[in-house]
Every structure is written in structure tokens, then in C-alpha cells.
Amino acid sequence: MADTGWEHKDAVEWCKKIVALMGLQLDVCRNENKTFLSMIRKRRKFPSATTRQCTSDLKRGPIQTWIRRNIKSTTIINCMGMRAQESRSRGKLNPLKRNKALTNSKRTVWDWLPIHHWNEMEVLDYLEKRNIPLHPIYRHLRRFSCRICIFMNDHDLSEVKQYDPEAYRIIADLEKEINFSMRPGKYLS
């Protein structure tokens, strides 16, 4: 798990619990130099769909660093849960490809999207049959993302305002502080 520093308060513990159901241990990595909020404060702007530093610097980067530091030689299957139905860009992803950035003469890394072709019902069915619980956030949000994600729509944000007013206030205050809104032309306040 890559912790952006802007995860739901119980996210790490929750993920540890789910991984433990499979008899596994969760490793948590972080960017040692920045969090979601400190990155925005320093750049004085939010990430966007085209400049998505939150994913590259706080998710992908720390996971790649973790793999480089901890796994020197073997074959690694890097499984991720993106599904084609989630968005047009996810639909275009290749479900199995060699990760060129992480593969070297001793280590081969494959990026695999094992549920890329699944629909939402298949996901829910899979979880139910194995008694794997959904995080409570799914009662009011579509994704278990950061507390507020740059891709949230009006409905998501009104839910956050109701269920996590602290997160809403932090982002609204940050927008005012840097004079830059998370969504073009739409300040949370």
C-alpha cells in the first residue's frame, strides 16, 4: 500500500486487516519527502487529470522504490485492481505487460490487472462469496480513494462535506491559501 498522507484515517489498519484475511502481511510505503497536502502547498496548485503528481509521486513512485529496495532478483507480479468499466482511460490499459522501468538483468516485473474485464457485480459477488467486507466508505462514495480525490464530482463532494467535514474544510482552506481551486473555476467554499 502506498500511503499518500491523505488517506482515510483507518485506511492503513483496514488494509492490514483485509490482507491478513489471506494470511499475508501488508507493507506500507510513503514518499519520504512529501504528502498530498505538502505537495500542493509547495507547488501552489492541485494535481489534475493531465498532471497527476499525486499518483506518480505518492503512489507509483514509492511502490517502485519499495520494489527496487526490497526485491533484487526474482519475478514479480505487480497486481492492480483497475477495471475497464471505471473510465475510458482505464479501458485502454493493457491488462498484462512487462514493466520496463523495474525490469533489469536480475529482476523481471509484470504489471497485471487481473480484474480488468470484471464488472461491478462480479467484484461484489467475489467479495461476498469470500466474506471479504467492503470498507464503510462505499456506503456513500464510489471509491476508497484519498479522503478527497481530485476526480470527485459534485455528488461525491457533498457526501464528503456531510461525512468527513474535516477533510472538506482542509481542502477548502487550502484552496483559499494558495488561491487555486482543486476543480477548474469551482472553489469548495
Buried b (16+ CB within 10 A) or exposed e, 65-76: ebbeeeeeeeee
Binding positions for ligand SF4, rule: CB under 6 A: 4, 47, 54-55, 58-59, 145-146, 149-151
Closest to ligand SF4 by CB, 31 or 145: 145
Closest to ligand SF4 by CB, 4 or 31: 4
Query: C-beta of 153: minimal distance to ligand SF4 in Å?
Result: 12
CB 97 within 8 A of CB 80: no
Closest to ligand SF4 by CB, 63 or 71: 63
Query: C-beta of 81: minimal distance to ligand SF4 in Å?
Result: 13
Closest to ligand SF4 by CB, 57 or 84: 57
Closest to ligand SF4 by CB, 23 or 184: 184
Question: 3-state class of 164 per DSSP?
Answer: coil
Q: According to DSSP H, which parts of 25-138 are helical?
A: 36-43, 53-55, 61-70, 88-91, 120-129
Query: C-beta of 101: minimal distance to ligand SF4 in Å?
Result: 19
Other Cβ atoms closer than 10 A to 16? 15
Query: C-beta of 98: minimal distance to ligand SF4 in Å?
Result: 24
CB 95 within 8 A of CB 116: yes
Helix (H) or strand (E) holding 163: helix 154-163
Question: 3-state class of 189 per DSSP?
Answer: coil
Query: C-beta of 34: minimal distance to ligand SF4 in Å?
Result: 12
User: Read out DSSP for 80-101?
Assistant: ----GGG-HHHHTS-SEEE-TT
Query: C-beta of 2: minimal distance to ligand SF4 in Å?
Result: 8
Closest to ligand SF4 by CB, 8 or 116: 8
